Amino acid sequence: MGLEFQERACLEIASHPFTKGDCAMPNKLEIKGHWNQVKGKLKEKFGELTDNDLMYVEGKEEELLGRIQQRTGKTRREVEKEIENFLPVRKY
């Protein structure tokens, strides 16, 4: 996920009254570490996605988002939100 997206999301999260200014946006390592779990949930929700569509290659996250967007017809933000929703909640 792009840095610009992460920064926007962090600002939104930090400004929310229940977060107390913490940024809970998942980073690339967290996404990579949970990718098999996320991939399975994406395939359940969007049956048209294939293993090739969901192949995670480090440094090629933009291509991954593009493939998911193309197959599902969702916007980039909708795809990013789905991925975030499938990640475990971070505890601070």
- Which tens digits make up the pLDDT trace of 49-86? 999 999 888 788 889 999 999 999 999 999 989 988 88
> Please, what is the average pLDDT of the chain?
75
CA dist., res. 63 & res. 5, Å (int) = 15
Nearest to 29 by CA among 72, 61, 68, 52: 61
Does 18 have pLDDT greater than 70? no
What is the sign of the dihedral through the CA atoms of 44, 46, 52 and 58?
negative
Residue 33: the pLDDT is 79
Q: How many residues does the chain have?
A: 92
Using a cut of 0.85, tell me whether the model's pTM lies above it. Answer: no
